[in-house]
Amino acid sequence: MQSKTSSLGEFDLIERFFKTQSALALVSNPGSVKLGIGDDCALIKTHPNEEIAITSDMLVSGRHFFADANPEWLGWKALAVNLSDLAAMGARPLGFSLALALPQADPAWLEAFSKGLFAISNAYSCPLIGGDTTAGPLNICITAFGSIPQEKAIRRSGALEGDDIWVSGTVGDARLVLAALHHEIHLPKDDLERIQARMHQPTPRIELGIALREIANAALDISDGLLGDLRHILQQSNKDAEVFLDRLPKSTTLLKQSIDTQNQYAACGGDDYELCFTAPTSKREAITKISANLHLPLTQIGRIEIMQNALPEIHLINQDGAKLSPQEASPLLQSFDHFA
Amino acid sequence: MQSKTSSLGEFDLIERFFKTQSALALVSNPGSVKLGIGDDCALIKTHPNEEIAITSDMLVSGRHFFADANPEWLGWKALAVNLSDLAAMGARPLGFSLALALPQADPAWLEAFSKGLFAISNAYSCPLIGGDTTAGPLNICITAFGSIPQEKAIRRSGALEGDDIWVSGTVGDARLVLAALHHEIHLPKDDLERIQARMHQPTPRIELGIALREIANAALDISDGLLGDLRHILQQSNKDAEVFLDRLPKSTTLLKQSIDTQNQYAACGGDDYELCFTAPTSKREAITKISANLHLPLTQIGRIEIMQNALPEIHLINQDGAKLSPQEASPLLQSFDHFA
């Protein structure tokens, strides 16, 4: 499958777009990376009593983004979704590796992509430390590394009966942007511009994750939809949940939509990259303080309950305090399936 | 770009083919993996005075393997090429993450792929600890992690004047298999069967890498061709090299080919996944002992020299001790370019 040439196109590309910028990022954050791009492996230092958190996400053209997607946004988002996973465990970013398949070596695309990538890399002190580049259908695979004090990782499996269920920020806007781009919904230009970053340039909640290390019993980040992702916490914790539909935090833009659309997008829209976490009621005051410190709304949307049947269940409560029927609840409890 | 469904096809697949087998592998190697598949991140423990080596390789259908490639071989090879990078630094495998894009969820393909993948995962005590699965053109991205005592990693940049240059095993067989499959060369069926594993199921030289920690000044693994890869050592060490063409270690099968084919495939065939390393002449006896202990040929093919010009050069010497002309040397000094 290999063809030979004496040109060094591939290596030139890597050098030009990634290695130089990576070196700059490393200089600004020399703490934990011992060796970056350019050898068989990268090397990271470890510190006593820490664990290394590792997460991988693969973004595929036509599936996770449009083929003509703005490459600068794409560079941001590709790392953002991984940082969001680190945030969900309470980890502090150490670095990331990038494997990239490209249909062709397009300098303009690479320049824009690397601009977005290094913008978020620098914003979160998470340098590029290694990777791979190859020809092939566009595919972006990032593996990110974070550090966390021993035994402090916030797992999905730790939810306890009586815990409050919390959500950061607002949910549903990324789905609303997608609906507008797909012409499922007409969204005025001003509204679209106000919220489009929620789809294209999500904000990983790194500082929130770190603040929650001593607070939350369970956490995850919302990528496939709030309720579908909450179900992962319930499955691993063997618990049920009660969720109050009218408490789902929504932006003023989403609040202009019909109530059905609001609930649908907020409950299972996906691509939110907010954190969903559970914590004892005794932590409410501490959580309110974190919210104020980070200037980030944190909303209590429900509570964890004992599991009543063989499988975990989410009981949705409407604004009148009544439980939704299975027919009403079903469309809100779906989750994203990449093979659908 | 997301479509919704209440089926859990994606998660079922991951569970069925990867999670169970991963759990088995973890039980047999519980040392360093704190948390495997199933949360936002995997967690690995760290130990005092160790560094973590990290490497990523992306394999693309039609580029690194044939679209109809045997999925069991593919599973083996996808991890093997990463373990080979760990070996080149002297790292001991800790675990790996797998991101996989699949055109469809084909249980027969996944079963065979996972069989090959877990065969090598278990053989090298390198458990699957996380990953991602998505629909898309077939793409396999593995990131592997290894541990190495502080300051003991063997880098490309450490070659010193007067070092011997060594190669493990034999080189050129993977290229010979490829030539036979492409009908560039007629290879008798027996010969093809004897060497085809060299292309499809390479052996990462993990134990050799570990043994070389105190021996080698520089090392890398040979993926794009011996001389092209050696050039990376020279570039990072600012050195020249003298290489004796008739010392390149070749299998008895390759030795049946014309001398030009032998030299071409051995010098720049690629896909060998042997180690090329440099070491002081004082280490020759120690290296001979390692070779005997590991039942692995180690061949001294040349030596490191002072860099004479602005760029590192490889001086090729023929069987008469004469330097090859630029015209003779040029086809042997090419390197693989994925964008060619």
pLDDT of A326: 82
Return the residue in B60, B141, B175 with the most chain A beta carbons within 10 A, the one to mutate for interface testing: B141
Cα–Cα distance for residue pair A299/A296, rounded to 1 Å: 10
| Chain B residue with minimum CA distance to A220 | B40
pLDDT over 50 (residue A318) = yes
Higher pLDDT, A31 or A313: A313
Q: Do A58 and B340 touch (CB under 8 A)?
A: no
Q: Do A56 and B339 touch (CB under 8 A)?
A: no
What residues of chain B lie within 8 A of the CB of A1, using their CB? 62-66, 178
Of B47, B153, B220, the CB nearest to A43: B153
Cα–Cα distance for residue pair B304/B234, rounded to 1 Å: 8
Distance from CA of A269 to the nearest CA of B (A): 9
**CA-derived radius of gyration, chain B:** 21
- Using alpha carbons, select from A244, A217, A245, A248 the residue that is nearest to residue A233: A217
Q: Do A51 and B34 touch (CB under 8 A)?
A: yes
Q: What b-and-e string marks burial along B114-133, b requiring 16 or more CB atoms within 10 Å of the CB?
A: bebbbebbeebbbbbbbbbb
The dihedral built from the CA positions of residue A245, A251, A256 and A258, taken in this order, carries a sign that is negative
Query: Are A243 and A278 a contacting pair, CB within 8 Å?
Result: no
pLDDT digits (tens, 9 = 90+) for B142-199: 999 999 999 999 999 999 999 999 999 999 999 999 999 989 999 999 999 999 999 8
Side chain identity, residue A93: P
Q: Do A132 and B58 touch (CB under 8 A)?
A: yes
Sheet holding A92-102, edge to edge: A128-135, A92-102, A139-149, A50-60, B42-45, B33-35
H-helix or E-strand spanning residue B56: strand B50-60
pLDDT over 80 (residue B22) = no
Mean pLDDT, rounded, for B309-335: 88
What residues of chain B lie within 8 A of the CB of A62, using their CB? 1, 136
Q: What b-and-e string marks burial along A213-233, b requiring 16 or more CB atoms within 10 Å of the CB?
A: bebbbbbbbbbbbbbbbbbbb
What residues of chain A lie within 8 A of the CB of B54, using their CB? 41-44, 97, 129-130, 143, 145
Place of tokens 């959580």: A287
Cα–Cα distance for residue pair A269/B257, rounded to 1 Å: 61
Higher pLDDT, B5 or B258: B258
Which residues, other chains included, contact A108 with Cβ-Cβ below 8 Å and sequence gap of 6+?
Answer: none
Q: Do A63 and B136 touch (CB under 8 A)?
A: yes
pLDDT of A25: 64
What residues of chain A lie within 8 A of the CB of B10, using their CB? 337-339
Mean pLDDT, rounded, for A109-132: 91
pLDDT of B325: 86
DSSP track, B232-251: HHHHHHTEEEEEEGGGS---
| Chain A residue with minimum CA distance to B182 | A1
Cα–Cα distance for residue pair B129/B126, rounded to 1 Å: 9
Return the residue in A141, A176, A231 with the most chain B beta carbons within 10 A, the one to mutate for interface testing: A141
- Using alpha carbons, select from B104, B111, B106, B101 the residue that is nearest to residue B139: B101
Q: Which of the four pLDDT bands, split at 50, 70 and 90, describes residue B96?
A: very high
Query: Are B21 and B128 a contacting pair, CB within 8 Å?
Result: yes
- The least confident of A16-20, A250-254, B321-325 is A16-20
pLDDT over 50 (residue B6) = no
Query: Rounded to whole angstroms, what are the CA distances from A140 to A57, A98, A101, A174, A289?
Result: 8, 7, 7, 20, 37
- The least confident of A3-12, B19-28, B306-315 is A3-12
Distance from CA of B13 to the nearest CA of A (A): 10
Q: Do A143 and B56 touch (CB under 8 A)?
A: yes
Q: Do B153 and A41 touch (CB under 8 A)?
A: yes
Of A2, A137, A236, the CB nearest to B336: A2
Q: Which of the four pLDDT bands, split at 50, 70 and 90, describes residue A295?
A: very high
What residues of chain B lie within 8 A of the CB of A42, using their CB? 53-55
pLDDT of B211: 98
Mean pLDDT, rounded, for A262-283: 95
Side chain identity, residue B33: V
Q: Please give the mean pLDDT across all residues of chain A.
A: 89
Q: Do B101 and A41 touch (CB under 8 A)?
A: no
Return the residue in B40, B157, B213 with the most chain A beta carbons within 10 A, the one to mutate for interface testing: B40
What residues of chain B lie within 8 A of the CB of A54, using their CB? 41-44, 97, 129-130, 143, 145
The 3-state DSSP class for residue B141 equals: strand
Question: B156 exposed, middle or buried (CB, 10 Å; 0-12, 13-18, 19+)?
Answer: buried
Place of tokens 């019909």: A258
pLDDT of A5: 34
What percentage of chain A has pLDDT greater than the value 90?
69
pLDDT of B234: 97
pLDDT of A28: 58
- C-alpha dihedral over B35, B36, B37, B39, to 10 degrees? 10
pLDDT of A116: 95
Q: Do B47 and A46 touch (CB under 8 A)?
A: yes
| Chain B residue with minimum CA distance to A40 | B85
Q: Do B3 and A137 touch (CB under 8 A)?
A: no
Mean pLDDT, rounded, for B39-58: 89
| Chain A residue with minimum CA distance to B134 | A338
Using alpha carbons only, what angle is made at residue A175 by residues A326 and A201, rounded to the nearest 5 degrees? 145
- The least confident of A298-302, B26-30, B44-48 is B26-30
Which residues, other chains included, contact B197 with Cβ-Cβ below 8 Å and sequence gap of 6+?
Answer: none
pLDDT over 80 (residue A172) = yes
pLDDT digits (tens, 9 = 90+) for A71-105: 999 999 999 999 999 999 999 999 999 999 988 87
H-helix or E-strand spanning residue A261: helix A259-268
Q: Where are the alpha helices (DSSP H) in A20-137?
A: 20-28, 71-89, 107-123
Of B86, B97, B100, the CB nearest to A54: B97
Find residue A145's DSSP bridge partners: A54, A95
Mean pLDDT, rounded, for B99-118: 89
